[in-house]
Every structure is written in structure tokens, then in C-alpha cells.
Chain A
Amino acid sequence: MNNILVLPMLFPIIVGVVLIFLRTYGRIQAWISIASMALTAGISFYLLHTVQTDGIIRLDFGGWEPPFGILFVADSFSILLVLTSSIVTAICLSYALISTSKELQTMYFYPTVLFLAAGVNGSFLTGDLFNLFVCFEVMLLSSYVLLTLGNSKRQLREAIKYVSINIVSSWFFLVALAFLYGTVGTLNMAHVAERVAEVGQTPLLTTISIVFLVVFSLKAGLLLYFWLPGSYSSPQIVTSALFGALLTKVGIYALFRIFSLIFYHQPEITHTIIGIMAALTLIGGSLGAIAFNDIRSIAAYNVVIAVGFMLVGLAIATPAAIEGSIYYLIHDMVAKALLFLLVGTMITLSGTSKMAGMSGLMKNYPLLGWSFFITMLSLAGIPPLSGFIGKVLISSAAIDNGSYVLLTLALLSSILVLYSLLRIFKNCFWGETIVSKEEQLPLRRGVLLPCLALVVLTIGIGLGTEGLSLYVMDAAETLLNPDMYIDAVLGTIQ
């Protein structure tokens, strides 16, 4: 029995429920939730090693053997993402402990973040398409609550848009599930993959795959990202850091899983469409990132660019490209959380989110400035930081594959990422210091510690790529050989 596999989802839920009883104790809640996410990260690290030695592991809920029951499946890809998301959540929670006001801490903030983490981890681990829908909804419901915490007018306005768009995309998800069930008669991912491989990917199945593509693109912000900048730039700092780091990544994970495990028989249709959507996402995101003067909007458009970049890897779908995308996915979780935390700190310090209202922050807050500098280099893909290896692998795969348009757009978008962030760096950190030394807001003690932890992480991933490569190569191999996954789920009964 691999009951430990359910813990990354179950553990945050239980701790979250217990925290509801501790509503009035803000700081205790924070420490407990940080500890529980750290423990979750530890469990996922152990699972990662188990997967390396024992191969893909699975847990059948209630002892119902696949394809009849719901199950959790862990391969290197999903466990790597669970590990990263748990670490990032723990760090964001510690930022919340230091920075957030007491009122917010007692408004069920921590339980909701834990439920969000549970939904995210569950989506990564599940081996059943309907269960994926349920985990998505757990994650989305928590994100609705987090988005509205604080109750400002702008948040309420954005929340209505965000909730409506997600209801519609969940509806499409159910429609796609209904058609898939009507066609192949099962919803277990491995079983669906097997049946699709048996009957061949008929035009009907390809159409269903396009409906899935629409659903996950809406969640991931692939081309259908119009809702993203507004809702990612209105909530609390910690919340937007969590959103930027985790939410779109779940959609991207689902795209990778579905189009490498189930619908990979007609790449000339599906993967071409993904490629076109990725290209348009890169263009739109880049335009947004350089057009805005609001630093939170710039950060939100950077999320969009990264989504496009990762999906370029899926569109090319060679081993090197997939590997690059996995590296970039891990890097982006860390770097986007860091970017949003730093931008949020800047807004707290200067009281405005407009670039024109900030100047010369470097003099008063040098540590903040240099952290931002490193984040910028990491996002632009400068070695030896974590963004480098993903960009190199995807670019070289694009050259080998002859996808020069995607290559050009990917590299151009990297330059524009650098430009957009450099603009923030130049305008906000350099220039004349508006606020004198006496009038400056003191940086709350320890508020930069979580950011520094993330900076260390992004440097660490960059320098330790060698150590990570073992896991990433295994993850890419599993993604490109669906039979390994199918065998692990439907093969010998444990």
C-alpha cells in the first residue's frame, strides 16, 4: 500500500480544518501552516526518491482497482511539481506571517491557503480525469476566497469577473468529460489513453481534445489570458504571489499530461494549434509587459509570457524540449512567487503601484534592489540562474526541429521580459531618491527573509541543475513514453 501518496493532499486539508478551530490565534495558525507545508515538502521529497527506485507508484482509493476506482499516480513529473509547490507555498506563508495585518490573519487566511495547496497537489497527483476536475474546483474555490479577502472595491469587481470566467471554463471541462465518457466509456487517464491508442485518434476524439485544450488554456492563461492581469494584480501581495506561482502551473501541468499521455496521436493538428496559441500568447504577453506603467500589471503579464514559453516546449515535443519545459516550470514557480513578493514589497513601501511614483529605492533598501536584480536576471534566463537551462534546452530543441518562428518569438519575448523588468529596475530603484532617509518607511523586520530564501532557491536550482537533471530526465522520459504510465496503472495489480 502506498498510502503516503495521499498525504500531500490530505495533510494540508486536515491541518486547514484544525486551523478553523484556532481562528483567533493568527501567529500560531501561521506557524502551524508553515510547518505543515514544510512537512508536505519533506514527504514529496521522500516520494520523489521512491519513484526513482521503484518506478511510478499509485494508490487506489478504497482498494478499488483501476479502472473502476479513483486513484493517485505519482511519476517524477507530478512529484517534482508537488515538491516545488509545497516549498513555494511554505515560503509565501512565512511572508504572510511577517507582513500581513492581524485582521487578515484571523479571516481564515491560512486555512484557505492550505486548501489551495491541497487542490494544487491533488491536481498534480490524480490519475482520474473527473478527480482532476474536483481538485481543480477545490483549488478554484479557495482562490475565489483568497481573491476577495480584504474586501476592497477593486477586489470585489475583479472577483466577479474571475469567478464567472472560471464557472464557464469548468462548464467546458464537464462538457469535455461528458463527451469523452460517451466516446470511450472511462475517465481513468491511463485507461482512456489505452482506449484512444486502440481505436486511433478519430476526428471526434480530436475535437474532444480541442475542448480540453480550451478548458486548460483558460486555466493556464494560454492565449485566453484576458482575465489574468486584472485578477492577479488586485488581491493581497501574498495571494497574488501564490496565484502567480501555482494557479496557471496547474493548467500547464494538465495540458502536458493530456497531450502527452492521451491525445498525442495527431500532433499535426493538436500540437500545431498549441504552437500557434503559444506564439500568440508570447506576443500578447510581451506587448502587455512593455505597455503598462503599473508594476503589478507588468508582473502579471510576465506570468503570461512564461506560459507561452513553456507551451512552446510542448508544441515542439521532442525529449529536449519537454525537459526544458519541466525545468522552466520548476524555475517559474520559484521566480514568479519571488517577483510578486518583491513587487508587493515595493508597493507597500512606496504606497503606489505606478512606476512614476517610485524612484531611488536603491538608496534606502539596497537588499530589496539587488534581490529584484537577481530575479530579473533569472527570469530573463541569464546563467547561472534557474531560468537559463530551460531556455537553452527549448531553444536548441526548436532549432533541431526547424521551428524558427517559435524560436524567434521565444527569444524575443525573453529580451522583452528583460526590458520590462529593467524598466522597473531603472525607474524605481535608480534615479533621485524622493523619500529622505528620515521619512522612509522602515522595512518591517525580516520581511525580506522569505524573498531571500527564494533568491537562494533560484540560484540553487541554477547551480544544482546537475543534481536535478536525474529527476527531470526521468520525468521527460515518462511523459514521452505513455506506455510506462499505462503499465504502472493498469498493469500488475499490487
Chain B
Amino acid sequence: MNINDVILKTVSKAVVLIILTFGIYLFLSGHNQPGGGFIGGLVIASAFVLMFLSYDSETVSDALPIDFKKLSAFGVLLAMASGIAPMFFGGAFLAQSFGYFDLPIFGKTELATVTIFEAGIALTVIGVVVNIILSISEDE
């Protein structure tokens, strides 16, 4: 089967970037507005899935040498680590804290530990979603 999918390939080159940006925006805005690790992760994963759809999986795997199973495992570890960390400082499991820092470019910025937890969730979601799609599509 040889479909002429030049339009899909060209469009996806541009669209993947837009989706990735939107995914990261959703992930970061989740702190005070709708969004968050799960939704951001899903959107980013959909960008990966689009890449796998428009190009074949070997090409994408060569360009992106990521083991998505390990990525999701790493995500769980990161989320758990952010939950465990406060236990060493006398806080409860999963306790979060935040503070204001003066950063060079951004000026006074609020940094919160919950972002680490959310990043773990995002990585897990990306890994799991891409993994599911790949495991269905691989064996023909």
C-alpha cells in the first residue's frame, strides 16, 4: 500500500510543533487554571502519535531514541520522589510547598514543588499513551 501522503507529512511537521507548544502551555498553566500534568501529557502524547501516524515508526524511533516504557516508569518515580521528599523534612507524604524566587530573566517568580509531581504525571501519561498505540500498531 503506497498512499501519497505528502500533505499529511507537510502539515504534521508544522502541527506537531503547535501541539507540543500547546501541551507545554497546558502543563504549566495547570497551577492556577484549567490544565495540568495529565491533560498536558495527553496533548504532548497526541503530538507523538501524530508523528508515528504520518511517518512510519522506524523513522520516528530513529529520530527519537526514547524507550516509552522506561519514560513512564521514570515519570512514576519522579512523582513518587516528590511525594517522598517532604517525609525527610518532617512533612506528611505528598505535602507540597512553594516559594518566591528572584530569577534572572523572569523577575520574581513563584516556584512550587507540585510542578515536579505534575511533571512526573505528564511523563507517565506520555509514556503510557504512546506505548499503547505502538503496541497495537507494531505487530501486523
Binding site for B on A (CB under 8 A): 1, 3, 6, 10, 13-14, 17-18, 20-21, 59-63
| Residue B70 at the chain A interface, CB threshold 8 Å | yes
CB closest residue in chain A, given B69:
A20
* A-facing residues in B44-62 (Cβ within 8 Å): none
User: B95 to nearest A CB, angstroms?
Assistant: 5
> What is the predominant secondary structure among interface residues of chain B facing chain A?
helix
CA distance A486 to B77 in the complex (A): 34
B76 touches A6 (CB 8 A): no
* Chain A residues positioned under 8 Å from B73 (CB to CB): 17, 20-21
Given contacts A14-B80, A17-B80, A21-B73, contact A1 B94 (CB under 8 A): no
CB distance from B45 to the nearest CB of A (A): 19
By a beta-carbon cutoff of 8 Å, the part of chain B in contact with chain A is 69-70, 73, 76-77, 80, 83-84, 87, 90-96
Q: Which residues of B contact A60 (CB under 8 A)?
A: 92
Report the nearest B residue to A19, measured CB to CB: B73
Complex CA distance for A207 and B111, rounded to whole angstroms: 47
- Interface pair B69/A3, CB less than 8 Å apart: no
Instruction: Enumerate 15 A-B pairs (CB-CB under 8 Å) in ascending A order.
Output: A1-B92, A10-B83, A10-B93, A13-B80, A14-B77, A17-B73, A17-B77, A18-B77, A20-B69, A59-B92, A61-B94, A62-B94, A62-B95, A62-B96, A63-B92
User: Which residues of the partner chain B approach A21 to less than 8 Å between Cβ atoms?
Assistant: 70, 73
- Complex CA–CA separation, A61 to B73 (angstroms): 22
Write out the residue numbers on chain B whose beta carbons fall within 8 Å of the beta carbon of A17. Answer: 73, 76-77, 80
| A62 partner residues in chain B, CB cutoff 8 A | 92-96
Given the interface pairs A20-B69, A20-B70, the reply to whether A63 lies near B80 with Cβ below 8 Å is no
CB distance from B120 to the nearest CB of A (A): 11
CB-defined contacts of B80 to chain A, threshold 8 Å = 10, 13-14, 17
Specify which chain A residues have a CB less than 8 angstroms from the CB of B96 in the assembled complex. Answer: 62
CA distance A397 to B70 in the complex (A): 54
CB nearest to B83 among chain A residues:
A10
When distances are taken between beta carbons in the complex, the residues of chain B under 8 Å from A63 are 91-92, 95
- The listed residue with most B CB atoms (<10 A of its CB), out of A1, A17, A21, is A17
Set B69, B84, B91: member contacting A1, Cβ < 8 A: B91
Which partner residue on chain B sits nearest A4 by CB separation?
B87
- Chain B contacts of A13 at CB under 8 A? 76, 80
List residues of chain A with CB within 8 A of the CB of B92: 1, 3, 59-63
- On whether the beta carbons of A59 and B69 are closer than 8 Å, the reply is no
- Chain A nearest CB from B91 CB (Å) reads 6
Q: In whole angstroms, what is the CA distance A21 to B93 when docked?
A: 25
Query: How far is A20 from B74 in the complex, measured between Cα atoms in Å?
Result: 10
- Nearest chain A CB to B49 CB, angstrom units: 22
Nearest CB in chain A: distance from B116 CB, A: 14
The CA of A437 and the CA of B124, in the complex, are separated in Å by: 54
Instruction: List residues of chain A with CB within 8 A of the CB of B69.
Output: 20
> Nearest residue in B to A9 (C-beta to C-beta)?
B93
Top 10 nearest A-B pairs by Cβ distance? A20-B73, A62-B94, A3-B87, A63-B92, A61-B94, A6-B93, A63-B95, A17-B76, A17-B73, A62-B95
Shortest distance in angstroms between A109's beta carbon and chain B's nearest beta carbon? Answer: 15
